Each structure stands twice: as structure tokens, then as C-alpha cells.
């Protein structure tokens, strides 16, 4: 319970056994409570017997010296930015992956290759660091900086930074991931890395759909070897050795990578 205006924040039934009390053993109960702002001076924990009248205890929990962890950053709001053209890839072969007509075989792979001229809002957003810098700028300078601020595209296609991109289904996260894949290919061509990528999905159905798309896009389009792990370690190690693009369910990848110290192909470059 909160202290100013009594508000019930949590309640649950808890059984305290006599044997534990008689033996002097401690019995614990864990639960999570929200913390309001401004921080209240204390919360009250009240224990009430469900069998005996007037049998209760109240324990005040002081927040005077409480140190809270840092808050998580709020989700990034989509800014109204000029869409990024496909020509920003600055590579004719890469641009053709997105501008060419769909393949003639049909299915998920062909459907995913509808020609596009620009990348969508999710793929064009500034990074969190860039947005923080914008807030501190004067109003007259914001528009100019916003136009050249680091974007999701730039972070994935022009840097080797780790990126966590969370967005709804169908918002374009897969194409954003392809930016990083294309950077890997470009750096491998320049002799600055190894062209090998592992895509892990939670379900086999997602893996199959993505494999059909990428065999059409990257297999036929760029000549990459695209393989799907099956769960058989011996054959999967051979697939991993010869493929540039490996797709796997989480379960199959866990089986293959569990002994990564003894399997050179599973280790990073």
C-alpha cells in the first residue's frame, strides 16, 4: 500500500507453514510493485490472516535512501523525414535487388521483391544519439542537422555498430537487416572481412519464408550460396562451411553452436 492516499498495489495469498516457523527457517516472497513519481516516502506491507480476526501486521518500507536504476529510454518517435532513395546504396548491383521486377517463380520470395524506389520511415529514422543532439540545438538549426543526422540506414550500412531495432510486424525490419548484410558483402569485397552471415528466427516457417526470399534476391541476384540448417550436425557443418548466408531456427542453431569451441566454422572471424 502507498502512504498518502491508500492504494492497493498488490495482493496475493501466501501460506506460511508451521514447520518452517518452528524450525527457525526463513520464508520469502517476491513480487514487483510500481514506483510512482514523485517518489513516496514509504510503502506499507500488510499481512492479514484469513482465518483469525484482528491478526495482522504492518511493516513500513522507507524509500528515504532508495537508489533507483536508470530509466529505459522511451521508444523513438517516427520523424517526418524525406524518404531515403534506393540510390543511397551507391552500388548498382545492390540497388537492383530492390528496383528490379519480381521474379517469375511466384511464392513468398517473389512477393517480397516488389520494386521499391525509397526506403520507408523505419529505415530512415535518426539514431537515438542523433535525436538527443537535436533536442539541445536551437530551433533554427534543427532542420539542417536533422537532414544529415545519422540514420538507421547509415548505422547499418556505413558502420559496424551493434543495432537493436524494435518495430511492429511488416514495418520493414528485414530490409533494415539487409543493409548490414550488404555492408558485410562490400567489406568482404574490399578484403576487410569475411562474407558469412547467420540469420536466426524462432520458427521453421519463418526460416523457410526468408530462405525463399533470399535465394531469389541474394542467391540469383548476387550469386551467394544460401543454406538452411536442418538440425543434423554433420550436414549442417558442411552447409555452414560452404554458404555465405545461413538461415536457421533458434533450436537448430543452438544445437550447432553449443560446441563452438570445437567447431571452427561456428566461430566468428
Reported pTM? 0.62
- Binned at pLDDT 50, 70 and 90, residue 12 comes out as very high
- Binned at pLDDT 50, 70 and 90, residue 120 comes out as confident
* C-alpha closest to that of 180 among 198, 158, 200: 158
pLDDT of residue 269: 62
pLDDT of residue 126: 61
Burial of 256 (0-12, 13-18, 19+ CB in 10 A): buried
What is the edge-to-edge ordering of all strands in the sheet holding 226-228?
197-201, 245-249, 226-228
Greatest alpha-carbon span in the chain: 81
Cell digits of residue 163: 543495432
pLDDT of residue 4: 61
Q: Give the CATH fold of the 1-71 domain.
A: Immunoglobulin-like (2.60.40)
pLDDT in tens, 205-256: 999 999 999 999 999 999 999 999 999 988 998 998 899 999 999 999 898 8
**Beta bridge partners of residue 60, listed in sequence order:** 44
Mean pLDDT value across the chain: 81
What is the rounded end-to-end Cα distance, in angstroms, of the chain?
A: 54
What's the rounded Cα separation, in Å, for the pair 131 and 126? Answer: 6
Whether 238 and 232 have beta carbons less than 8 Å apart is answered as: no
Kindly list the domain boundaries of the chain, sorted by start residue: 1-71, 74-191, 196-269
pLDDT of residue 141: 33
Buried/exposed code over 215-229 (b: 16+ C-beta within 10 A; e: otherwise): bbbbbebbebebbbb
What's the rounded Cα separation, in Å, for the pair 256 and 231? Answer: 8
pLDDT in tens, 46-101: 999 988 898 999 999 999 888 888 877 666 676 777 788 899 899 999 999 999 87
- Binned at pLDDT 50, 70 and 90, residue 187 comes out as very high
pLDDT of residue 244: 92
pLDDT in tens, 138-154: 332 333 333 333 478 88
Amino acid at each position: 500500500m502507498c502512504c498518502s492516499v491508500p492504494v492497493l498495489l498488490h495482493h496475493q495469498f501466501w501460506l506460511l507453514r508451521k514447520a518452517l516457523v518452528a524450525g527457525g527457517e526463513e520464508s520469502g516472497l517476491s513480487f514487483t510493485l510500481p514506483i510512482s513519481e514523485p517518489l513516496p516516502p514509504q510503502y506499507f506491507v500488510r499481512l492479514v490472516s484469513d482465518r483469525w480476526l484482528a491478526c495482522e501486521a504492518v511493516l513500513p518500507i522507507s524509500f528515504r535512501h532508495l537508489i533507483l536504476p536508470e530509466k529505459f529510454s522511451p521508444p523513438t518517435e517516427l520523424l517526418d523525414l524525406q524518404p531515403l532513395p534506393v540510390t543511397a546504396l551507391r552500388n548498382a548491383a545492390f540497388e537492383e535487388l530492390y528496383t528490379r521486377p519480381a521474379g517469375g517463380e511466384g511464392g513468398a520470395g517473389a512477393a517480397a521483391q516488389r520494386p521499391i524506389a525509397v526506403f520507408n520511415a523505419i529505415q530512415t529514422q535518426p539514431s537515438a544519439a542523433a535525436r538527443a543532439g537535436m533536442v539541445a540545438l536551437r530551433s533554427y538549426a534543427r532542420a539542417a542537422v536533422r537532414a544529415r543526422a545519422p540514420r538507421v540506414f547509415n548505422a547499418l550500412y556505413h558502420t559496424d555498430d551493434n543495432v537493436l531495432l524494435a518495430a511492429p510486424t511488416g514495418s520493414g525490419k528485414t530490409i533494415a537487416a539487409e543493409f548490414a548484410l550488404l555492408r558485410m558483402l562490400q567489406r568482404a569485397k574490399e578484403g576487410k572481412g569475411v562474407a558469412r552471415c547467420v540469420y536466426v528466427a524462432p520458427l521453421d516457417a519463418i526460416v523457410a519464408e526468408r530462405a525463399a526470399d533470399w535465394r531469389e534476391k541474394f542467391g540469383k541476384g548476387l550469386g551467394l550460396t544460401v543454406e538452411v540448417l536442418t538440425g543434423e550436425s554433420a550436414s549442417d557443418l558442411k552447409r555452414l562451411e560452404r554458404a555465405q548466408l545461413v538461415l536457421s531456427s533458434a533450436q537448430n542453431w543452438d544445437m550447432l553452436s553449443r560446441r563452438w569451441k570445437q567447431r571452427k566454422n561456428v566461430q566468428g572471424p
